[in-house]
Chains A and B, each alone.
Chain A
């Protein structure tokens, strides 16, 4: 989306935002700080004035639009920058073969490639669990690894086909 900027001599600045189709939103910022917002429905149509704001109100509205007051979480956009790796939360089934083993005994990293970053157990979270931490039923294992590694790990927790 292009933003067009032009000076309006003796008045201030004009910004035009393309809204798609031929529609444009036009913002005029006067030298005295007043803002006027217009909507132009099409190329050959007249702009209609939507509203005008003082400089102070405009800044407040701007922060609201920017999400400074309330930021909805847009699920599609969550990207943790870990390169190829992703983080997964895996429930340990009460029948899973890993139960009762310590992390060291389960040799999760050697077998699947993921590392266990944390264990969520009921209300508490064990961050950076030690190798001698025992895996219990209904734990949630937080693991870091590539998509393939996570896939193998999920199978390991699920089926218990430990390949030995």
Chain B
């Protein structure tokens, strides 16, 4: 097996590159393209075309490790780009719109989970998957549509900042509960431990800025990159051995950098490495997905797509109103928050690692199908937001002729 290993990795990386190129051509997000490529050339169905085997990549170990690094560095960057100053400057409005966004969309997720007969823990995972918007897809779409220079970018990005904090707390909680022994006592101890650890990391991030500043001060980009990769992976890995969320640990390591002068350099030096890890992560999601299972989940998927799209449009429109935007722009805020992506998949990966009941099978498969649909639908909605707005206003006029 080992003599074909390098060849398989080569096929995988080439496949990822091809998928990304195609996605760029048709100006869609690369995330669903990477997943689709993973599904296509992975060991699961579809595995043959006209009798020719499509199982080109079956080697999991290397890809698993890189995918794990993908999760770690996605969250690390979320921490690096997390703007404490922006949050504090605009805390009133961000707290308001973030709460609206959370209440509407998380509740819809809870409702979906319970309606489809999932257990409480499974429902909690499901709610997280449908609640969290995709920073990667949204910021790219904002730039491409030019909205980034308009008023609607304020509430959209404000909501994302709020979601970032929430996802850190949510992941810490879920990891503690899911990893716990199952009794209430175990869960309480696990949650307590998780928060002590996170509190410690927060303090280090808060007071250690000047030390971080010095430790990472080097003229060589190569050394800088290695130090960042080293310390982040080390702390994330250590957290994992303690049964805590490696993603959350990485997020806090990132926030330690967010107030230093290293941000620009991290963006220019570490981003390519992050992109590579993340691309392999999305691809590996596709590899492990038994896409044929989606046929049993089709109703859940349809219901989720419909309900959570409308949910984000409504909560976003309300948020736009809080920022005193007109109706067209408020609606854009809602549409702009529809894409779901990397964080839903991070939650799905956590579910798969717990592996009990629906968490091991149905939920991750649902998440993949859901992200495939929502990342594409969300991008298309943003590209055609004004037509959607015309449609809705016409419809509401027909419904209420005045």
Contact = CB atoms under 8 A, between A and B. Distances in A.
On whether the two chains bind one another, the answer is yes
A11 B39 CA distance: 30
Contacts of B154: 6
A9 B149 contact: no
B135 A9 contact: yes
A11 B135 contact: no
B135 A48 contact: no
Contact of B148 (A14, A31, A43, A48): A14
B82 interface: yes
B268 A10 contact: no
B212 to A, nearest CB: 19
Chain B contact residues: over half helix, strand or loop, or mixed?
A: helix
Contact of A28 (B77, B148, B160, B161): B148
Contacts of A33: 268
B170 to A, nearest CB: 19
B217 interface: no
Interface in B145-160: 146, 148-151, 153-154, 157, 160
Interface residues of A, number: 21
Interface in B44-94: 77, 81-83, 85-86
A11 B326 CA distance: 25
B143 A7 contact: no
B161 A40 contact: no
Given A14-B148, A28-B148, A47-B146, A8 B153 contact: yes
A36 B268 CA distance: 18
A2 interface: no
Contacts of B161: 9
B267 interface: yes
B160 A9 contact: yes
Contacts of A141: none
A15 B163 CA distance: 24
A130 B143 CA distance: 70
Contacts of B326: 44
A6 B86 contact: yes
Given A31-B264, A31-B268, A44-B326, A7 B83 contact: yes
A49 interface: yes
Given A7-B83, A9-B135, A10-B139, A28 B149 contact: yes
Given A7-B86, A10-B81, A11-B143, A47 B150 contact: yes
B146 A49 contact: yes
Contacts of A10: 77, 81, 135-136, 139, 160
B150 A8 contact: no
Contacts of B329: 44
A89 interface: no
Contacts of B136: 10
Nearest to A24: B149
B142 interface: yes
B81 A9 contact: yes
Contacts of B135: 9-10
14 contacts: A6-B86, A7-B85, A9-B83, A10-B77, A10-B81, A10-B135, A11-B143, A14-B148, A31-B267, A32-B267, A38-B146, A40-B149, A44-B326, A48-B146
Given A7-B83, A32-B271, 18 more contacts: A6-B86, A7-B85, A7-B86, A8-B148, A10-B77, A10-B136, A11-B139, A28-B143, A28-B148, A28-B149, A31-B263, A31-B267, A36-B149, A43-B151, A44-B326, A46-B146, A47-B149, A48-B146
| A-B residue pairs, 10 tightest by C-beta | A31-B267, A47-B149, A38-B149, A26-B149, A10-B139, A7-B83, A7-B86, A9-B81, A10-B81, A11-B139
